[in-house]
Amino acid sequence: MFQSINPFTEEPFSEIPPLSHEEWEEKLNLANQVFSVWRARSLKERRALVQKLAELMDKEKDRLAALITREMGKPVRQSLSEIKKCIWLCEYAVEQAPSVLADRVELPYAPEKSYVTYQPLGVVLGIMPWNFPFWQVFRFALPTLLSGNTVLVKHAPNVMLCAIELEKLFLAADFPFGAYQNIPITVEQTGQLMASPYLKGVSLTGSVEAGRAVATLSGQHLKKSLLELGGSDPYLILDSADLELAAKECVLSRMNNGGQSCIAAKRFIVTEKNEEEFISLVKREMSTYKIGDPGLMETSLGPLARKDLRKRLHSQVSHLVDKGAKLLLGGRLPDRQGYFYPPTILKSTASSAVSSFEEELFGPVAFVIVVSNEEEAIETANASPYGLGAAVFSRDIAQAEKLAREKLQVGSCVVNQALHSHPALPFGGIKDSGYGRELSSWGFYEFVNVKTIQVS
């Protein structure tokens, strides 16, 4: 059974059984049958349905936000922001789809009467995480559907009510029955589904371990795949940094969604010159976060999503302390109801912080790593097997931009700000953070056949 447990009250409130083999196979067959109908719909018609979806979500945003908060513990004001971001993505996709998906006819050096057209592949599976239960689905499903594909979503087991609500929304927006389907299936069943010739692609947002398993199956069955995996994002605070700004943006990134974000700032790499003042400012910023009932608008830090996630996080913190990291704040399990973990700061030098590079800390834990100079900061940032995002803080904008562009081994890098995904910018990582890109025009092209046409 897939069980939903309120992370604040620790009380279970829903149980959903996985589909039988016959049930998920029926959904897959339906998605395959509907594909021929859906791809024949004009782009104008598809865009109209996405616009209607945005309007429905806008009307229901408070109710949808409350559901997210109840099921995974995100403070409700952040849940509301997640829904609004989904609406924003709908509006962006509706506006941009005609130009992005139009046939490309101006091809330098190409033969006359040749062009490129973008054709849908068929049924595409999305394996989605719990930390942004609406946003992650939307950034995968919207471009995939607008391109003419049909979609199956295997959502995380602890947010099954969000998964069910998502399917209801697409149906209420008049998407054809079967174009978007929720499929509550097990990991084993997912492997069986991926072997089907009806399935043409898979997009996973999840752990490195899950990514390796999906990549193996995708290769075995020759499916197009996209992987957005973990991160250990470095934020570099250089000698000339505006420390007030750096501390504010670093903590904002680290604490959003309770620190349960792939692109959260996870390693604060600061030069010796700024160590003392920067840490003091980070402590001050973290102290402003109000911990409590995530259903209240004034709460800024809620519980972690599950008990086992809190246990793992605390084990990681304890391990790092045992290995020599200094605990500067937090790091102790609170004696209260709910899966809360306190704002925590660890400190180490680059030479003794290796294990923090190799593991993703998924919670409100900042790891401050002190380096002697810019060169060591870059080396430390790139030492991680992950390569999702990064940030550089410096008053020398030209220096910071050059470092971001040429030195840091990540998919996205920002200067003097926290990293956020944006509908108009491609999002994804390198190394153990995965491959492929979501959002912007790149997101539309992941699950299409880029077909060359020549006429003589």
Q: Which residues are tagged catalytic?
A: 228, 262
| 100, 93 contact by CB (below 8 A) | no
Q: Is 124 exposed, middle or buried (0-12, 13-18, 19+ CB in 10 A)?
A: buried
Q: What is the DSSP letter of 104?
A: B
DSSP-assigned states of every residue in 195-255: T-TTEEEEEEES-HHHHHHHHHHHHHHT-EEEEE----EEEEE-TT--HHHHHHHHHHHHH
Q: What are phi and psi of 3, to 5 degrees?
A: -110, 135
Give the separation between CA 137 and CA 182, rounded to whole angstroms: 11
Give the separation between CA 206 and CA 378, rounded to whole angstroms: 27
Give the separation between CA 228 and CA 400, rounded to whole angstroms: 26
**Residue 123 host element (H or E):** strand 123-127
How many CA atoms within 13 Å lie on the side-chain side of 331? 17
**What's the CA dihedral at 205, 209, 212, 218 to 10 degrees?**
-60
SS (H, E, C) 264-310: CEEEEEEEHHHHHHHHHHHHHHHHCCCECCCCCCCCCECCCCCHHHH
299: left (phi over 0), alpha (psi -120 to 50) or beta: beta
Q: What is the CA radius of gyration of the chain?
A: 23
Give the separation between CA 161 and CA 418, rounded to whole angstroms: 31
Task: Select from 112, 101, 115, 110 the least CA-distant residue to 145.
Answer: 101
**What's the CA dihedral at 62, 63, 64, 70 to 10 degrees?**
110
Beta bridge partners of 370: 270, 349
